[in-house]
Amino acid sequence: MYITGAGRTKFGVLPQTMPELAYEAMNSAIDDANADVRDIGAIFVSNFIGGPLNGQLHLNSLVASLLPGTNVPIVRVETACASSSTALRQAIFALDHYDMVMVLGVEKMNSRPIIGITEAIAMASDRQLDQASGMIFPASYALIAQQYMRRYGIGHEVLEQVSLINHQNSRSNPLAHFYYKDVTLETIRKSPVVATPLNLFDCSPISDGAVALVLSRKRRSPRDIRILSSQYSTDTLSPSQRRDMTSFAATKIAAHLAYQEAGIRPEDVDLAEVHDCFTISELVALDDLGFSEPGRAPELIMDGQVLRDGSIPVNMDGGLKADGHPIGATGLAQLYELMIQLRNEADVRQVSDARIGLAQNIGGIGGTAAVTLLGRD
């Protein structure tokens, strides 16, 4: 199985409507695959909060409206921030029946005042155990940061470096939410506190955007990238029901299954896209994915091993932190970056001789975790 075409929009606070963003990404992916829309046997649509923020559900039929005369099966998939990776896995299953399918992730988040957006995002948490206590996502990840920092004896300066590196990476990505913003260490340190110890620059932005991938059962072009594995696992919705908040069991399980299916080890991965919705989640991801022993991820950050010329380059596009986080499209954006890296088309942010890439996509606070491995033939 291969990804044969990829297309995405810019991420940020955008003037386009959700249908316009979806159309742009789909059209770009079909062109990139050198295919015709009539070649697509089925479409899987990833979207998290089109209902509460845009008043628009039934997105499968909306997508059909954008592709007149295309009466193929179209399904909407939702697993919070991991929606698009879950949609990808469903699309892979569909390749048993179709030669070519499409996965679309789209989100128009900047359509309501911030309170409404916050309330909508909180729907991905446990209404009784978390929402009723005011545990919105920044507060939950702040608790994770407190426990990680206390357990492993690190300070906020590590999180500051995570933020700085990702913002520096985004300056090489013209499609990134923060492409035009020069963020310094002083800017990060002086930003207002959101939930102790996290400040504004520890948090990913609220982004609009769309990404589409065209999958094929067989290789169609030398630019096609093989899907080595796509795995996901689930956990309790509320972190209060878990023994350890410094690790996501679902990530560890999905990673183990993915490595096993692909027949590789963590040290075989040439670059990674991890779900850094908050800076602390990048540290947790590096540990859980096996790139570091528990609590040793800060060493990878401070020693520069996550940079483009390091042992495990991470989030070359800027990650969720600086590339942006349009929830329904985020997981596909990670795969888009891996695609252009493995095709050797990433320009100034190209990782040398990249052959295997990993994407980790989280839904909620580790309630869903997807790990995808791509490889260059």
Are 334 and 361 spatial neighbours (Cβ–Cβ below 8 Å)? yes
Amino acid (one-letter) located at 373: L
**DSSP labels for 124-175?**
GS-TTTTGGGT--HHHHHHHHHHHHHHHHT--HHHHHHHHHHHHHHHTT-TT
Q: How far from 157 is each of 35, 52, 298, CA to CA, in Å?
A: 48, 37, 10
Q: What angle do helix axes 137-152 and 279-288 make, rounded to 10 degrees?
A: 60
Looking at residue 271, the DSSP 8-state letter turns out to be E
The number of residues in the chain equals 377
For residue 203, indicate whether it is catalytic.
no
CA angle 205–246–250, rounded 5-degree value: 80
- For the chain, what is the largest distance between any 2 Cα atoms, rounded to a whole number of angstroms? 60
Of 59, 58, 53, 74, the C-alpha closest to 22 is 59
- Scan for tokens 């690190």, then name that residue: 154
Q: Give Cβ neighbours of residue 188 (< 8 Å, ≥ 6 apart).
A: 160, 163, 164, 199, 201
Of 334, 217, 191, 212, the C-alpha closest to 271 is 334
Q: Out of 81, 167, 203, 275, which one is annotated catalytic?
A: 81
What DSSP element (H or E) covers 242?
none
For residue 275, indicate whether it is catalytic.
no
- Residues with catalytic function: 81, 325
